[in-house]
């Protein structure tokens, strides 16, 4: 069954969140930022003074967490929308996201959120086209040069972005990789509107085929 979902994967700084929100607004669809969910768990882990590499303790936090991503990111009723982009979270989120138990818990919730309301959904992350929604109507893999991605993530820089790339691609649980049937969209030097238009055309092509 083809799901009425546009799934967007890609490395850090490729423009996933910005494009996903703009695309959802253009189509009148809902949007789900899955990366924010892992970051919210990381905030909670750090708030409790836990080591992000302590798999059992972090898994307990993830399983117990109540997470919302709209209109602002919150966990267990606490607004963490601004906290999820701090340096500490930038460093800790890779370990949290690599935790197999955390990923299993988040994937289950992401699928439940997709079923919770009718209508189209734009979902962005790093394993959306390959693991979470492999039957999505449109699969997109956003990319950009490292220089461009580091520029967009000015608060992190080249070293941090490259470290995230390696961690995301080499983890055992749901590593970042391009689905064989995903359309590659390079966002380097392009406006959000141009990228959104290309993805809209991909959606139109699936509708007319």
Location of structure tokens 């997109």: 140
136 contacts 122 by C-beta, under 8 angstroms: no
- The distance between the two most distant Cα atoms of the chain, rounded to a whole number of Å, is 53
- What is the pLDDT at residue 150? 87
Q: What are the C-alpha distances in Å from 174 to residues 47, 66, 164, 171?
A: 26, 22, 14, 7
52 contacts 46 by C-beta, under 8 angstroms: yes
pTM of the model: 0.87
pLDDT value at 207 more than 70: yes
Which 3 state secondary structure label does DSSP give 163?
A: helix
- What is the pLDDT at residue 101? 97
CATH homologous superfamily for the domain 33-118: P-loop containing nucleotide triphosphate hydrolases (3.40.50.300)
**How many other CB atoms are there within 10 angstroms of residue 115's CB atom?**
9
Q: Convert the pLDDT of each residue in 59-84 to its tens digit.
A: 999 999 999 998 899 999 999 999 99
Q: What is the distance between the alpha carbons of residues 138 and 136, in angstroms, rounded to a whole number?
A: 5
Average pLDDT, the chain: 91
Q: How buried is residue 55: exposed, middle or buried, by Cβ count under 10 Å (0-12/13-18/19+)?
A: middle
**β-pair partners for 79:** 74
DSSP-derived secondary structure for 36-65: HHHHHHHHHHHHTT--TT-HHHHHHHHHH-
Q: Convert the pLDDT of each residue in 150-189 to its tens digit.
A: 888 776 667 777 777 777 777 777 777 889 999 999 999 9
Nearest Cα to Cα of residue 41 among 92, 7, 82: 92
Average pLDDT over residues 51-62: 98
CATH of domain 1-29+120-209: 3.40.50.300
- What is the pLDDT at residue 208? 64
Q: What are the C-alpha distances in Å from 105 to residues 20, 64, 98, 99?
A: 23, 10, 12, 10
Portions of the chain given CATH number 3.40.50.300: 1-29+120-209, 33-118
């Amino acid at each position: 069954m083809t799901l009425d979902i546009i799934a967007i994967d890609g490395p850090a700084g490729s423009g996933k969140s910005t494009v996903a929100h703009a695309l959802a607004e253009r189509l009148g669809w809902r949007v789900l930022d899955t990366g924010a969910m892992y970051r919210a768990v990381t905030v909670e882990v750090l708030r409790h003074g836990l080591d992000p590499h302590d798999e059992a303790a972090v898994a307990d936090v993830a399983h117990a967490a109540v997470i919302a991503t709209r209109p602002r990111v919150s966990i267990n009723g606490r607004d963490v929308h601004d906290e999820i982009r701090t340096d500490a979270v930038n460093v800790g989120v890779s370990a949290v996201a690599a935790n197999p138990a955390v990923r299993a818990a988040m994937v289950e919730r992401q699928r439940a959120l997709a079923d919770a309301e009718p209508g189209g959904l734009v979902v962005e992350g790093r394993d959306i086209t390959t693991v979470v929604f492999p039957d999505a109507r449109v699969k997109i893999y956003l990319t950009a040069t490292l220089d461009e991605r580091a520029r967009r993530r000015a608060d992190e820089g080249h070293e941090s972005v490259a470290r995230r790339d390696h961690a995301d691609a080499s983890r055992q649980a749901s590593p970042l990789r391009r689905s064989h049937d995903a359309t590659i969209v390079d966002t380097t030097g392009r406006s959000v509107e141009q990228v959104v238009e290309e993805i809209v055309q991909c959606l139109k092509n699936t509708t007319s085929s």
